[in-house]
Structure 1
Amino acid sequence: MAESYPDISPLKAGLACACPRCGRGRVFDGFLSVVDHCPHCGLALRENDSGDGPAIFLIFILGFSGVPLAFWIDSAFDVPAWMPGLVAGIFVIALALLLLRPAKACVLALQYRHRRDDFETGG
């Protein structure tokens, strides 16, 4: 009984934090805990969890944007020496918390797109 599923963009599935196969089921149970199986199509998701890979990407991307922000604040404004680090730190932490779920869901969707055989249908 092979069921046909729509071709869903990994970016679209990732930003919606939705199942990469059907696009309807949720990927997370909690903040970053991946569900065992999609509630709609049964795709095994937890076994193919992306782990800490998305966090590493975000560290590099946000680090490359946070450090120049701190330098700019320090050179453009007459503020105490601790202020640029505080502002850049808050900026990096806020964006990391905001982007971590979609980044992890995007990597999971890309894994599904390029290594579909690793995902098995459960129950």
Structure 2
Amino acid sequence: MFDESRQMTMPMPAHAEEDRPTKRAMMRGFRKRCPNCGNGPLFEGYLKVVDHCPVCEEALYHHRADDGPAYLTILVVGHIVAPLLHVVFTAFRPDPLVLFTIFTVASVAMSLFLLPRLKGLVVGIQWARRMHGFGGEE
């Protein structure tokens, strides 16, 4: 049996009482804004995350987005394009070159639109969950 009187209690970290809502941080990241303040830009260029927010000075260099945003982009674009390709092909039977051109352009455009937004979303999740150094520990 489990004896509650002998249960080991872990001290709460000093930063545990600070609230970092995940949903808000995700939405700010999706809008390519700082997950902390929501005002500063998250990116220097297309995909380069700034080291520190120019508005609130939050350190953002800790992120480890790696391949996650690319995977999510492929997942979302594929789940939109594949069924649409099937429907268009079976309903309208366009010329294959026309079909290829339209869906290639649409896939590339959606990927270019979604990739930085999903990277911001992943950085926002990591910041809200205090992952990979975002927790304030040295």
After superposition, what is the alpha-carbon deviation per residue over 1:60-104, rounded to whole angstroms, capped at 9, x for unaligned? 121122122222221111321232232222111111111111111
- Structure whose CA Rg is larger: 2
The answer as to 2:24 corresponding to 1:21 is no
> Which of 94, 101, 107 is residue 92 of structure 1 equivalent to?
107
> Which of 59, 63, 74 is residue 44 of structure 1 equivalent to?
59
Q: 1: CA distance between counterparts of 2:130 and 2:71?
A: 21
Q: TM-score scaled to structure 2, two decimals?
A: 0.73
> Which of 107, 110, 116 is residue 125 of structure 2 equivalent to?
110
Residue 116 of structure 2: aligned partner: 101
Displaced runs of 4+ in structure 1, greater than 6 A? none
Q: 8 Å contact 1:19–1:27 — kept in the other structure?
A: yes
Uncovered stretches (5+) of structure 2, i.e. residues with no partner: 1-14
Identity of aligned residues (%): 31
Shift of 1:51: 2.2
Shift of 1:41: 2.2
